[in-house]
Structure 1
Amino acid sequence: MVSDQLADRLAERTAMARYRVWRRIGWTSVAAVVVAGLVWAAFFSPLLALDPEQVRVSGQGTTVNVGQVRETVTDESGVPLPRIDTVRLREEILALNAVKDVTITRAWPDGLAVALTSREPVAAVPQAGDVYALMDAEGVRVGTAEDVPDDLPSIVVSLADGAAGRRAMDAALAVLGALPPRLAADIKTVSAATQDDVRTTLSDGRVIRWGSGAQVELKTKVAQTLLRAEPSARTIDVSSPDLPVTN
């Protein structure tokens, strides 16, 4: 009798253990099916596929060809968002003219937000063929114009020595790129005989001698103070900002 009870208990425990195993297998199988479904839905189904109508481009400025940016992005149309290689896409957009930086964000469930930082021209540089190259503060050409735009100064740099001329150009662009908008808008021409002799001429004919492109922020503050304090001065020399000179 006792042996029968022990056998029954053993059989019951065996059955319970077998039930737990099968239940665990069942739940594992269900979980695997759910995960597989989620993977398929995210990476292969059209549920999260990029819709070209949901591509938003912002921050294009005045120089970026938004059509080119949008075309580059919409080449990914129909690709599920998790599978879009945003690193590669960013590199492709950065290779476009006048794009300085870009941030790409997935806009679930089917869009992309593309935030651009454009390269804006700070000066027009005379070129062969009676045209002007529009240059940004880092010396990158962002466009071409037949005449100097009204809102940009022209730069005069001696290019007889290519390397020295380039250094002079970089110094001039560094000065222009660091100026506050109001002062930059008042500059009509820029000359740079060397990298240490940058000069700007304002719309009223006054000249500011900046020296090199170093300490532009401090030089700007000194120049603005002297422009207000000595309106009759025709030349303001802030090449040594601690010892400015006017005449």
Structure 2
Amino acid sequence: MAGPTTAQRGGSKSKNSKSAARSGPSRPGGRAPRGGGSPRLRLPRRRLLAWTACAVLLGGAAGWALYGSSWLRATHVDVSGVRVLTADEVREAAAVPLGDPLVSVDTDAIAGRLRERLPRIGSVTVERSWPRGIDLKVVERQPRAIVEKSGKYIEIDGSGVRFATVDHAPQGVPRLLVEPEDSSSLRRFGPPRLEREGVRVAEALPPALRLDARAIRVRSYDSITLELTGGRTVVWGSGERGDAKARTLTALLKAARGADHFDVSAPSAPAASGS
């Protein structure tokens, strides 16, 4: 019997090719993946779920450590920077909630209480000191002038703030005397403004001159006089150009050691007189 013709062989190959194309490429083992998914997509998803679970556990542990653990609670308060105030006074005014979780302690509220209850405090830094402490770093106001009233002394800092009343005058701080010479000066400026001008002069003095100053006498805005040790007086004028006047006075005191009256109201043309 004759074999298949060329046309028949070609037709058979064509049918086989179409059948192979429909069935697609063969897979190892001859099995298709179940569920239509890919193993390469399932693995990262499992890792993501594992990482999410770990993150939740770690977050819960951190929250418990910060808020529930007895190891991270405020148990003590350290105070630094005090000079006139005592550390116990600062602690009492701060009213730190000891025993509370350290992370929940309101440091801004503590700073506000200190400034309100202790006006001598010019600034304060409140910091958490892990694991159990609160640090209070205090900067006290420094008196630049004092005002005597009813046998006591009111301390005034360089910005004009009256912050304390004491029984004894602090050493090296000049007394401020506001004595308006006419009513027109009072009507225009008023005692508080004249007092601030006197403090402005005190703030401009370098430490050596401030120690020599016994009094700052304010008669008007542009009539301020310093009284120094040894009976020496200084016509200062207004509180303006304080730094220039202080430099001029320092040089003048060295150049005219025998003088007892100085005028630096015009610092570019100073004068000295007296024996």
Equivalent residue, structure 1, for 2:114: 93
Q: What is the total number of aligned residue pairs between the two structures?
A: 242
SS of 1:138's partner is coil
Q: CA deviation at 1:184?
A: 0.6
Residue segments in structure 1 that go unaligned for 5+ positions in a row? none
The question of 1:41 aligning with 2:65 is answered yes
Q: CA deviation at 1:98?
A: 0.8
Range with bigger deviation, 155-164 or 129-138: 155-164
SS of 2:243's partner is helix
Equivalent residue, structure 2, for 1:236: 262
The question of 1:143 aligning with 2:169 is answered no
Equivalent residue, structure 1, for 2:272: 246
CA distance in 1, matches of 2:163, 2:133: 29
Relative to structure 1, is the Cα distance of residues 66 and 201 closer, same or farther in structure 2, using a 3 angstrom cutoff? Answer: same
CA distance in 2, matches of 1:235, 1:164: 28
CA distance in 2, matches of 1:14, 1:131: 90
- Aligned positions of 1:210-225 closer than 5 A: 210-225=236-251
Aligned AA for 1:60?
V
Aligned AA for 1:80?
P
Higher relative contact order (CA 8 A, sep 6+): 1
Aligned AA for 1:142?
F
8 Å Cα contact 1:167-1:194 kept in structure 2: no
Of residues 215, 222, 233, the one that matches 1:189 is 215
Q: CA deviation at 1:6?
A: 5.0
Range with bigger deviation, 110-119 or 148-157: 148-157
- Aligned positions of 1:1-247 closer than 5 A: 5-7=29-31, 9-10=33-34, 18=42, 20-52=44-76, 55-62=77-84, 64=85, 66-95=87-116, 96-127=118-149, 129-158=150-179, 161=186, 163-247=189-273
8 Å Cα contact 1:171-1:196 kept in structure 2: no
Q: CA deviation at 1:124?
A: 2.0
Residues 189-233 of structure 1, C-alpha deviations (whole Å, 9 max, x = no match): 220111222211111111122222222111111100000000122
CA distance in 1, matches of 2:27, 2:207: 99
SS of 2:127's partner is strand
Residue segments in structure 2 that go unaligned for 5+ positions in a row? 1-25
CA distance in 1, matches of 2:49, 2:258: 92
Rg (Cα) greater in structure: 2
Q: CA deviation at 1:8?
A: 5.4
Aligned AA for 2:202?
L
Residues 21-66 of structure 1, C-alpha deviations (whole Å, 9 max, x = no match): 44432331122111111122123422221121xx22222233x454
CA distance in 2, matches of 1:240, 1:229: 17
CA distance in 2, matches of 1:173, 1:211: 14
CA distance in 1, matches of 2:106, 2:50: 36
8 Å Cα contact 1:164-1:194 kept in structure 2: no
TM-score by length of 2: 0.77
Q: CA deviation at 1:12?
A: 10
Range with bigger deviation, 186-195 or 224-233: 186-195
SS of 2:215's partner is strand
Aligned AA for 2:195?
M
Q: CA deviation at 1:5?
A: 4.0
TM-score by length of 1: 0.85
SS of 2:54's partner is helix
Q: CA deviation at 1:20?
A: 4.9
Relative to structure 1, is the Cα distance of residues 205 and 6 closer, same or farther in structure 2, using a 3 angstrom cutoff? Answer: farther
Relative to structure 1, is the Cα distance of residues 3 and 221 closer, same or farther in structure 2, using a 3 angstrom cutoff? Answer: closer
What is the CA RMSD across the aligned residues, in angstroms? Answer: 2.6
